[in-house]
């Protein structure tokens, strides 16, 4: 079926006379609303001010959310897209575009459709040999465009009204089809102008999805069923591309049908329900959930749905997997062992059809059940004993429900949050492929704005927080109520475990004092500094009780060497991968 964007009744005939609001800016606004964007994250600049006026005039756009910097606006659009399915940000020419581009690159790596709109130069200035401000001093205005070409799937430069309608619609539909960011530059003198192509409500456009080749699909399913049905102890592992393939439901259908042990790769946490009866945890090589790696790596067949095997997810390329035992599913391709490979096969279609052909086999899960030993609990703290990280996350576990979502920052929070057991309906997001420190502040802002029915619980290290701290201010302006755990251990702990040096030590801040200063009596905010379990218990009672509607910022002071055992193992293996000598010439 095709995906309809907008309502069919918007196709009512109207006259071609320009009507109020029939401008380029309003057309862009209506398109954003049609695809599900009700909030746009921006930083104003002289090239985008008129465009922002016309976005503001659109009733369907709730807020143009002014962020403290373009990087955070991009991270917020990323977080919004993770919850809503698509996000948008608006920046100014070059100085804004090159500032937001790091966030757009992250969205590209994570397969998120983000519409990045930049206010561009006056259309009369193109080709005039003039030098403009906000540029590097050359009359060539294409620098921003060239930079975006490598981190977006489509680029539109709108400097003439006649093709503006087509360019905007093509950009937005391409973002949705490809699940990647797009770049739209709008000349600053065009946003307020009407044009006959904008004179009626935008006709809903249909996005026709790629279809599986039926013969290839049938052949792929038969080959995979034969491969798996002769295995003794096969397993299933979900990967991060389940999201872009829109195949999470089909993955669960296959899991229900086959009875295999089910695991997820670390970057797929939250995409597969952890309450599934055959779920065995996170497969992450040497730092997997207890007993998970043993079951996956001892299997004689494994089906990986949408994996990404990079140096981080493979723990420095140390996974004990064999290609000949694997079925690898990409969003549009199936590879069985060392071959054959089948193209033009949608992952969701393949999983659904395979579920009809597969023979149930619970051997791997039964093996897991025999060797499984329940996790121990952290040692009980002595009165006023300095707080340990494992005790902190034991209490965070108790906060989780279907009405919460976890945002895990790059660093040791990756590993500690990975061990959280997600209740049904609990959201979970982190940025593993790109791993840009500071991402979580903007992402928390965007996710919370998109998911009003969930309270976001963000776990952020002190080093990462120093990169993007300002937009706690924007959360307060928007009336958001996340619980932010600022884990203060005095430096870049994840880097310490990969390669230590004095550059990994940072200046300590009074983090609660900083947030109190940002709060400045406007909005709802509550802060606490905790040093022991008693302090933490008291803080959580307040955050979930009297201050449940406030932004709650809890600074957790822990020892600089208090890390998860998984980070210690992972860091040494990644370090070994990074320090491999050059191959002999």
Tens-of-pLDDT digits for all 585 residues of the chain?
Answer: 333 343 333 333 333 344 556 899 999 999 999 999 999 999 999 999 999 999 999 999 998 999 999 999 999 999 999 999 999 999 999 999 999 999 999 999 999 999 999 999 999 988 888 888 898 888 888 999 999 999 999 999 999 999 999 999 999 999 999 999 999 999 999 999 999 988 777 667 667 778 999 999 999 999 999 999 999 999 999 999 999 999 999 999 999 999 999 999 999 999 999 999 999 999 999 999 999 999 999 999 999 999 999 999 999 999 999 999 999 999 999 999 998 999 999 999 999 999 999 999 999 999 999 999 998 888 888 999 999 999 999 999 999 999 999 999 998 899 999 999 999 999 999 999 999 999 999 999 999 999 999 999 999 999 999 999 999 999 999 999 999 999 999 888 888 888 888 888 889 999 999 999 999 999 999 999 999 999 999 999 999 999 999 999 999 999 988 888 888 888 888 888 898 999 887
Dist. CA 505–CA 503, nearest whole Å: 5
CA–CA distance, 476 with 472 (Å, rounded to integer): 6
Please tell me the predicted confidence (pLDDT) of residue 18.
Answer: 45
H or E stretch covering 329 = strand 326-330
The Cα–Cα gap between 285 and 569 comes to 10
pLDDT at 266: 96
pTM beyond cutoff 0.85: yes
pLDDT value of residue 3 = 38
CB 270 within 8 A of CB 429: yes
- Reported as type and span, the H/E element at residue 98 is helix 97-109
Q: How far is CA 68 from the centre of its chain?
A: 20
Cα separation, 577 vs 150, in Å, equals: 27
CA distances from 321 to 269, 283, 296, 401 (A): 20, 11, 8, 34
pLDDT of residue 118: 98
Rounded to an integer, what distance in angstroms lies between the CA atom of residue 547 and that of residue 542?
6
Structure confidence at residue 553 (pLDDT): 98
Residue 70, both tokens: 């373009």
The whole-angstrom separation of Cα 34 and Cα 383 is 56
C-alpha–C-alpha distance, residues 86 and 259, integer Å: 34
What pLDDT does 1 receive? 32
Q: How far apart are CA 207 and CA 183, in angstroms?
A: 19
Position 151 scores a pLDDT of 98
């Amino acid at each position: 079926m095709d995906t309809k964007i907008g309502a069919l009744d918007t196709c009512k005939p109207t006259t071609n006379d320009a009507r109020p609001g029939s401008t380029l800016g309003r057309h862009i606004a209506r398109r954003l609303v049609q695809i599900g964007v009700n909030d746009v994250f921006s930083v104003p600049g002289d090239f985008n001010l008129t465009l922002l006026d016309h976005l503001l005039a659109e009733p369907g756009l709730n807020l143009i959310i002014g962020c403290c910097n373009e990087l955070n606006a991009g991270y917020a659009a990323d977080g919004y897209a993770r919850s809503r399915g698509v996000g948008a940000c608006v920046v100014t020419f070059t100085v804004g575009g090159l500032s937001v581009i790091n966030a757009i690159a992250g969205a590209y790596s994570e397969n998120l459709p983000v519409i990045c709109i930049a206010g561009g130069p006056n259309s009369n200035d193109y080709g005039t040999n003039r030098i403009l401000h906000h540029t590097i001093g050359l009359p060539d205005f294409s620098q921003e465009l060239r930079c975006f070409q490598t981190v977006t799937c489509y680029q539109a430069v709108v400097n003439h009204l006649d093709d503006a309608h087509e360019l905007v619609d093509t950009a937005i539909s391409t973002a949705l089809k490809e699940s990647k960011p797009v770049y739209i530059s709008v000349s600053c003198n065009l946003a307020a102008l009407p044009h006959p192509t904008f004179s009626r409500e935008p006709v809903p456009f249909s996005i026709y999805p790629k279809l599986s080749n039926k013969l290839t699909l049938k052949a792929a399913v038969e080959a995979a069923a034969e491969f798996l049905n002769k295995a003794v102890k096969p397993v299933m592992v979900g990967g991060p591309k389940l999201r872009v393939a829109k195949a999470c439901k089909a993955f669960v259908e296959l899991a229900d049908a086959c009875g295999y042990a089910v695991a997820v790769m670390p970057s797929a946490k939250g995409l597969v329900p952890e309450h599934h009866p055959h779920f065995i945890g996170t497969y992450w090589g040497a730092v997997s959930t207890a007993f998970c790696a043993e079951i996956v790596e001892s299997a004689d067949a494994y089906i990986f749905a949408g994996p990404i095997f990079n140096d981080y997810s493979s723990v420095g390329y140390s996974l004990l997997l064999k290609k000949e035992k694997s079925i690898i599913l990409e969003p549009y391709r199936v590879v069985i062992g060392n071959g054959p490979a089948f193209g033009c096969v949608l992952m969701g279609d393949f999983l659904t059809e395979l579920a009809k052909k597969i023979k149930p086999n619970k051997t791997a899960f039964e093996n897991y059940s025999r060797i499984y030993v329940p996790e121990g609990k952290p040692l009980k703290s002595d009165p006023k004993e300095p707080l340990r990280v494992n005790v902190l996350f034991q209490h965070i576990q108790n906060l989780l429900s279907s009405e919460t979502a976890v945002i895990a920052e790059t660093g040791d929070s990756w590993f500690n949050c990975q061990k959280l057991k997600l209740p049904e309906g609990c959201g979970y997001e982190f940025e593993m492929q790109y791993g840009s420190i500071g991402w979580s502040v903007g992402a928390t802002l965007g996710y919370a704005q998109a998911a009003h029915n969930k309270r976001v619980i963000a776990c952020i290290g002190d080093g990462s927080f120093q990169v993007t701290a300002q937009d706690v201010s924007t959360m307060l302006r928007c009336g958001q109520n996340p619980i932010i755990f600022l884990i203060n251990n005095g430096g870049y702990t994840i880097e310490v475990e990969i390669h230590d040096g004095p550059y990994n030590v940072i200046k300590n801040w009074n983090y609660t004092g900083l947030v109190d200063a940002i709060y400045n009596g406007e909005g709802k905010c509550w802060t606490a500094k905790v040093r022991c379990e008693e302090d933490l218990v008291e803080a959580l009672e307040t955050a979930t009780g009297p201050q449940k509607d406030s932004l709650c910022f809890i600074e957790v002071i822990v020892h600089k060497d208090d890390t998860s055992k998984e980070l210690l193992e992972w860091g040494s293996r990644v370090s070994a991968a990074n320090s491999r000598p050059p191959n002999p010439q």
